Amino acid sequence: MYYRYDAIVFDFDGTLVSSNEIKTWAFGELYKEHGENIVQQIISYNKEHEGISRFVKFRYWHEDLLGQPYTKEIGKYLSNKYSQLVFDAVVQAPYVGGALEFLIK
């Protein structure tokens, strides 16, 4: 039996393109000026706490890792910068194996 569909919706990030590590990389990029040790701690924390709000992560990293005050303005700035880093990298990410061929069909 065949069904007619007007549209098929895909999750792009990680489904059509290989982008799973991009978000972790982008978090590290935000803090690279603080040194490799901080970046590695951020990467580890992110991998252990996937699924929680980026703003919760930003607050923790600023207050607990850097010992710096955190404000909503800092969070907004970091979130915007993070979003741009992720977007720029995701649009350049390679397709997941077979995804492009499936889309062409």
Q: Is residue 11 part of a domain?
A: no
Does residue 17 lie within any of the structural domains?
A: no
Domain with 38 in it:
23-104
Does residue 27 sit within a domain?
A: yes
Residue 7 placed within a domain: no
Residue with more model confidence, 85 or 92: 85
User: Which of 95 and 52 is assigned the larger pLDDT?
Assistant: 52
Residue 46 lies in a domain: yes
Please list, residue by residue across 5-20, b when 16 or more beta carbons sit within 10 angstroms of its beta carbon and e when fewer do: eeeeeeeeeeebbbbe
- Is residue 28 within 8 A of residue 83, CB to CB? The reply is no
For residues 62 and 102, which has the higher predicted lDDT (pLDDT)?
A: 62
Position 104 scores a pLDDT of 75
In a domain, 74, yes or no: yes
Alpha carbon distances (Å) from 17 to 14, 82, 104: 5, 19, 15
Q: What is the pTM of this model?
A: 0.80
Structural domain total, the chain: 1
b or e along 25-39 (b: 16 or more beta carbons within 10 Å of the residue's beta carbon)?
ebbbbbbeeeeeebb
